[in-house]
Amino acid sequence: MHTILRTPSTRTFASAMLACALIVLVGSPLHAQSADELRRTASRVYGTQATLADMPVAISSSEAERLGESSGIAHPWSKVEVYRVRSGAETRGWLCVDNVKGKSRPITYAVCFDGAGSILDIEILKYRESHGGEVASETFRAQFRGKSASSAMQVGRDIRNISGATISTRAVTRGAKALAVLVRHIATREVTP
C-alpha cells in the first residue's frame, strides 16, 4: 500500500511566504537605521563632536515639481530622512538617508553635505543585491566628494561606471543628485525669510 504525503500546495506556500515578507517589511522601515550607525557615519565625516538633529522636511506638491525639474528625477522626496549636523551651536551640514532601487532590491545610503551643500561623502548603509556591492567602495564614493546640486552627477560624464554594477551605479548617482538638489532647497529655504 502506498502512502500519499500531503504537502501544502505551491500556491499556499507562496502565500505564506508573501505574508511573512509583508509582516517583516511593515514592521521595519527600509531605511530606519540605528541611531548608533548614523552617529558613527556623522563622527567619521564631521568629527567626534558632531550631533544629529532630526529635521522633518515637508515638501509641497509645487516644491516637489520644482525639485524634480532641477534634478531631472521624479524622487519620493517625502521618504528622505534629513538630519541637521551640528558641532555645538554651529550647523556643519546635513546628513540625508534614502533608498534607491537597485536591480531588484533597495539600496539604503546616506549622503553627508557641508553647510554650502557640497557632498562630503556617501555611505552605503545597506546593500541588498547579490552583485554590484562595489558602489560601497572608497574609489566609487570618492567621485562624489565636492559635488553639489549644480554638478552634472551623471554616469559616463563625471561619475565612472562600475562594470557589473551599472544599475546600482546609476541608482546611487541619481539618488545623490536628487539629495543634493533637496539640500540646496533646504538651505535656501532657511536663508530666505
What's this model's pTM, rounded to 2 decimal places? 0.82
- Phi and psi at 17, nearest 5°, equal -65, -40
DSSP 64-118: HHHHHHHHT----GGG-EEEEEEETTEEEEEEEEEEEE-SSSEEEEEEEEETTS-
Q: Are 173 and 158 in contact (CB under 8 A)?
A: no
Return the bridge partners of 101, or none.
106
Kindly list the averaged pLDDT for each block of 10 residues, start to end, along the chain of length 193.
48 40 38 82 96 94 95 92 96 97 96 97 96 96 98 97 96 98 92 63
pLDDT number for residue 189: 84
171: number of Cβ within 10 Å? 23
DSSP 124-160: EEEE-SSS-GGGGSHHHHHTTTT--TTS---BTTTB-
pLDDT number for residue 29: 44
Q: Which residue do the cell numbers 530606519 mark? A: 32
Q: Which residues are within 8 A (CB) of 177 and not within 5 positions of it... i.e. 6 or more apart?
A: 71, 72, 73, 149, 151, 153, 154
